[in-house]
Amino acid sequence: MYIYSVTVSIDKLVADEWHQWMKTIHIPMVMETGYFTEYKMCKVLNVDDEGATYSTQYSFNDMKDIESYMALEAPRLQTDMKALYDGKYVAFRTLLEIV
C-alpha cells in the first residue's frame, strides 16, 4: 500500500476558510476520482512558520493509481486550489510506501 501525501502551508488569515474548503469540497472531489481508498488530514505541529501547515495523506493500492490520478485528475484539482488561494500557500507532494 502507498500514500500520496500533500503538505500545505497556508496563510493564517485564510487557514480556517481553506480548511473548511478542503474538508467539504476538495477532499471529497479527490476521493470521488476513485483512485484512493481512504485519507487522513493532519495538522503539522512542529513547524515554526507564518502559516498553518497541514498534511493530507491519501492511501492507494497500486502505483498505476497514482500515475493515472496525476495524469488525469491532479492538474484540474490543483488549478481549483490555485484559483482560490494563489499566493497564500506553498505545497509539496510526497509518495510513500508503507513497509
Q: How high is the pLDDT of residue 76? A: 93
Tens digit of each residue's pLDDT (9 = 90 or more) over 38-96: 999 999 998 767 789 999 999 999 999 999 999 999 999 999 999 999 999 999 999 99
pLDDT band of residue 4 (cuts 50, 70, 90) is very high
| CATH code for position 56 | 3.30.70.100
Residue 15 · residue 47 · CB < 8 Å: no
Residue 43 CA, chain-centre distance (Å), reads: 12
Of residues 37, 55, 52, the one with CA closest to residue 92: 55
Q: How high is the pLDDT of residue 92? A: 94
Tens digit of each residue's pLDDT (9 = 90 or more) over 18-42: 999 999 999 999 999 999 999 999 9
- Counted domains in the chain: 1
Domain with 71 in it: 2-97
With 0-12 / 13-18 / 19 or more C-beta atoms within 10 angstroms meaning exposed / middle / buried, residue 35 is buried
Residue 3, pLDDT above cutoff 80: yes
